[in-house]
């Protein structure tokens, strides 16, 4: 793991690890990628960005030894939007930085611009409720993303579960484009945001973030 940045107090990090992982055929969070569990990569990314981390999953026992803090209030079977709701309910900081456990190419270099944009919003009293990356299709990508804690009231008023993108749309996100990537970023944004969903995906190359 690279040297961690100074610990932030305005953001808490959450790794969504409660999915069924039917295509992977095993617990995705513990699947080996380049010699380490996928969950370890996500936790290291948060640590390198200076963000305290928690794992969101209905059952934390299988992750013992990987993380010290867990959010276990997620209702199983409702998808990542329910994981986001549980994360926001547990969050004590103004912002929650939410990662998917299956995106190991998302390193601290990709999280930094999101964190910087959130700080800019706070300084300017901006009204966006989320900060995210834009996809190749121009649409906002719900993970990784920063969500304001007060979005919880909106999620609690809506039907539980559903698409995560619906929750992101409700937040009226600030969407960053490739021009916000750090100089020398080693790969296209679409590649860095790739999810690993099957055993074959675990053979993709590693990350070499600046």
Query: What is residue 21's predicted lDDT score, i.e. its pLDDT?
Result: 54
Residue 125's pLDDT is 83
Q: What is the pLDDT of residue 209?
A: 40
* Residue 210 binned pLDDT confidence (cut-offs 50, 70, 90): very low
> Given a cut of 50, is residue 61 above it in pLDDT?
yes
| Residue 51 confidence (pLDDT) above 90 | yes
Provide DSSP, 111-149: HHHHHHHHHHHHHTT---SEEEEE-TTSPEEEEEEEEEG
pLDDT over threshold 90, residue 27? no
205's tokens: 């190359």
**Beta bridge partners of residue 147, listed in sequence order:** 96, 130
What mean pLDDT do residues 144-170 have? 92
How far lies 144's CA from each of 5, 97, 104, 176, in Å?
A: 18, 7, 11, 12
User: What is the value of pTM for the model shown?
Assistant: 0.91
For domain 11-203, give the fold: Spore Coat Polysaccharide Biosynthesis Protein SpsA; Chain A (3.90.550)
Instruction: Quote the pLDDT of residue 207.
Output: 59
Instruction: Choose between 28 and 174: higher pLDDT.
Output: 174
Output the CA–CA distances (angstroms, integers) from residue 206 to 10, 99, 131, in the order listed.
30, 18, 26
- Domain residue ranges of the chain, discontinuous segments joined by +: 11-203
Cβ pair 182, 113 in contact under 8 A: yes
Structural contact between residues 147 and 88, judged by C-beta atoms closer than 8 angstroms:
yes
Which pair of structure tokens corresponds to residue 21? 């992982």
Mean pLDDT for the stretch of residues 174-179: 94
Residue that is written with structure tokens 């996100």 in the block: 173
């Amino acid at each position: 793991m690279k040297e961690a940045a100074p610990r932030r107090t305005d953001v808490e990090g959450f790794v969504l690890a409660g999915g069924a992982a039917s295509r992977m055929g095993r617990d995705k969070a513990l699947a080996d990628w380049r010699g380490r569990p996928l969950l370890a990569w996500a936790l290291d990314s948060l640590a390198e960005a200076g963000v305290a981390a928690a794992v969101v999953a209905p059952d934390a026992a299988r992750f013992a030894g990987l993380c010290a803090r867990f959010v276990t209030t997620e209702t199983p079977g409702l998808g990542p939007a329910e994981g986001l709701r549980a994360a926001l309910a547990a969050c004590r900081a103004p912002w929650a930085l939410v990662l998917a456990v299956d995106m190991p190419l998302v390193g601290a270099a990709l999280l930094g611009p999101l964190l910087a944009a959130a700080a800019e919003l706070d300084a300017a009293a901006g009204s966006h409720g989320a900060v995210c990356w834009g996809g190749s299709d121009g649409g906002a990508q719900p993970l990784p993303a920063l969500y304001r804690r007060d979005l919880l009231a909106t999620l609690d008023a809506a039907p539980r579960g559903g698409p995560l993108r619906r929750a992101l749309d409700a937040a009226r996100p600030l969407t960053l484009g490739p021009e916000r990537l750090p100089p020398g970023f080693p790969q296209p944004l679409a590649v860095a945001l790739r999810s690993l969903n099957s055993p074959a995906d675990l053979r993709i190359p590693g990350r070499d973030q600046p």
